[in-house]
Structure 1
Amino acid sequence: MITLDQVRSFVAVAEELHFGRAAERLQMTQPPLSRQIQKLERSIGAQLLERDNRRVVLTGAGEAFLDEAYRMLNLVDSAGDLARRVDAGAAGVVRLGFTAVSAISILGPLLRRLTAELPDVEVRLSERVTNAQVDGIRRGELDIGLARPPFDTALLSSRVILREPLMAVVPEAHRFASLGRPLTPRDFEGEAVIGYHPQQSRYFHELVVRFLANAHPRIEQRVHQVLTAMLLVAAERGLALAPASATSLHVEGVVFKELDHHGGDTRLDADPERPVELHAIWARDVASPVVRRVLGVIADVVE
């Protein structure tokens, strides 16, 4: 069996072409060095060096083996370096889940920062709604999610990474589009509203319900995605509520209006003026070095 000590011994002799200098370089005496070369030649089944009292030269087999020896040692060195970087969280793979709207607000800056600070970390992206992200983390398919609360705190750790306002989305031809004040819950009385699915889009459904708690709108549709709601507004099928970051979608035919939360039910909102939260979530009992490093970068991007 070939050992790394044998390969390193051979490389030293091949480069020095002198057993005495090679032994000195390896900080050993000549007899054990000669034995390492002999064992290596027996393991390979070929003579690698021709030596006598005056000189040492490489055989044809020795020249061929020297190229492979360099590759072996480089591979071992790079493997060790990779292991150290993985152990420090500077290399590896992170599987990151995100929602469509979270991609607007933070995904771009986060990926640019990760490329700059952790270039050897491969980020594998997976677009999923919050429930699917939670399931993915539980099954070990995802490492980190960018998702909406609430979460099972017995299963997941979480950190708020973004708070933003909830806004009204109205057709550009609607009378509210030119209204010179924020919209109140009472303004939605009798208006057609595009709502969100209570299971598949539970978070935005509850935000809408809380804001319109004291109004009586007509819920025309219930959709799963913010973009779908905005497209229906553009088609003049009703009004909708959406996070402020959705303005970046640049849907034609809609106008975003600020909301006046007085009169809505804001008791459950940590910040009534910015009730829309985005969290980083990860498994409570699993946090590899690379996951911890990526979470640190997320925190830096938010700050």
Structure 2
Amino acid sequence: MYTLDQLQCFVTVAEHLHFGRAAEELNMTQPPLSRQIQKLEKDVGTPLLLRNNRKVELTPAGATFVLQARTILNSAENARKLAQLSAAGLRGQIRIAYTAASGLSVLGPLLRFIKNKIPAIQIEVFEMVTQEQLEALENETIDVAIGRLADSDDDYRIEEIHHESLVLAAPVDHPLMLQDKPLLREHVGGHPLIIYSPTKARYFYDITVRNFQVNHHQVAYSLSQVGAMIALVASGHGIALVPESAQHISFPGVRLRHFEDLEKEIIKTQIIAKHPSDNPIVHRLFELISEDASQSDHTF
């Protein structure tokens, strides 16, 4: 079977119709160039060039073959470039899982950042709670998670990309919304409370019980999705502690309010990946996020 080197030799001779000039361009002497053409013609099974002491011409078969030869060489060069781009994390596919809360805040800006920085890649997105994200990372069905880990873990590469506050969601006519005095954490006591699930939304649950005195009998419902929590608040089932980005969920009759005695931006959203990852795009993405963070105080 003929080689790419043989095709390149033939195409160069076909362009110049002169062995000397073709050999010079290929940085070789004429004898090995002639041998490459002879091997190619033997593999093809027909003469491709007519040559004598005065001139070189393409045979009808050669004129047909040179078109396909150029296509093959271009395809081979494109394959090489695509492989290099893939290895550099500039081309390919990345699968990203996000939580419902991160979908309200950081997902859109992060996807825009990725497409601006690495426009040639394809992105698939999936909604999952954090525990499902970690399982998907372990099973390698996703490459990156936008979620929250309470503790560092050597098995994961983690970068904080967004901070926001935990706020109260309550009906607009609720006493805690109507009071003139500042809202404090202790004011939540005694009211029916809708909180995050301790199993499916462990991060938010831990923040809640660490910063609020939550009586077991006070909990009306525990859920994993902020949208459902706001819906229950709108239906009069209680008040809820939700991330500030819940303001993007529109439910008539629900208002959000900040606590005066709670740390601001207590919720940290992270981008999480297995360490190390087999996908070069993951490595490139973390590099870009780190570079962006070092140049400004920007978070997504």
Corresponding position of 2:281 = 290
> Residue type matched to 1:275 in 2?
I
Corresponding position of 1:167 = 167
How do 1:198-277 and structure 2 match up within 5 A? 198-213=198-213, 218-261=218-261, 272-277=263-268
CA drift at 1:32: 1.6
> Matched residue pairs, number?
294
Corresponding position of 2:295 = none
Deviations 1:11-58 (A, max 9, x none): 011111122221222222222211111100111112212222222222
Corresponding position of 2:270 = 279
Deviates more, 1:170-179 or 1:62-71: 170-179
CA drift at 1:199: 0.6
CA distance in 1 between counterparts of 2:190 and 2:184 reads 13
Corresponding position of 1:128 = 128
CA drift at 1:181: 4.2
Do the aligned partners of residues 54 and 223 (structure 1) sit closer, same or farther apart at CA in structure 2, a change above 3 Å counting? Answer: same
TM-score, with length taken from structure 1: 0.89
CA drift at 1:254: 0.8
CA distance in 2 between counterparts of 1:42 and 1:159 reads 59
> Residue type matched to 1:7 in 2?
L
Deviations 1:261-293 (A, max 9, x none): 36xxxxxxxxx3222111111112336532121
CA drift at 1:233: 0.7
Deviations 1:42-97 (A, max 9, x none): 11112212222222222222122112111111112112222222232222322222
TM-score, with length taken from structure 2: 0.90
Q: Does structure 1 retain, via aligned residues, the 8 Å contact 2:277–2:283?
A: no
How do 1:1-303 and structure 2 match up within 5 A? 1-151=1-151, 153-213=153-213, 218-261=218-261, 272-286=263-277, 288-299=279-290, 300=292, 302=299
CA distance in 1 between counterparts of 2:98 and 2:181 reads 34
2:53 partner SS = coil
Q: Does structure 2 retain, via aligned residues, the 8 Å contact 1:110–1:298?
A: no
> Residue type matched to 2:50 in 1?
E
CA distance in 2 between counterparts of 1:256 and 1:94 reads 35
CA drift at 1:146: 0.9
CA distance in 1 between counterparts of 2:71 and 2:118 reads 26
CA distance in 2 between counterparts of 1:58 and 1:251 reads 76
CA drift at 1:120: 1.9
Structure 1 gap ranges (5+): 263-271
CA distance in 1 between counterparts of 2:39 and 2:79 reads 25
CA drift at 1:99: 0.8
CA distance in 1 between counterparts of 2:211 and 2:4 reads 69
Q: Does structure 2 retain, via aligned residues, the 8 Å contact 1:98–1:126?
A: yes
CA distance in 2 between counterparts of 1:275 and 1:254 reads 22
CA drift at 1:204: 1.7
CA distance in 2 between counterparts of 1:197 and 1:131 reads 12
1:302 partner SS = coil
CA drift at 1:214: 6.4
Q: Does structure 2 retain, via aligned residues, the 8 Å contact 1:167–1:259?
A: yes
CA drift at 1:183: 2.2
CA distance in 1 between counterparts of 2:74 and 2:267 reads 51
Do the aligned partners of residues 103 and 13 (structure 1) sit closer, same or farther apart at CA in structure 2, a change above 3 Å counting? Answer: same
Deviations 1:82-115 (A, max 9, x none): 2222232222322222112112211111111211
Structure 2 gap ranges (5+): 293-297
> Residue type matched to 2:299 in 1?
V
RMSD (Å) for aligned C-alpha atoms: 2.1
Deviates more, 1:7-16 or 1:25-34: 25-34
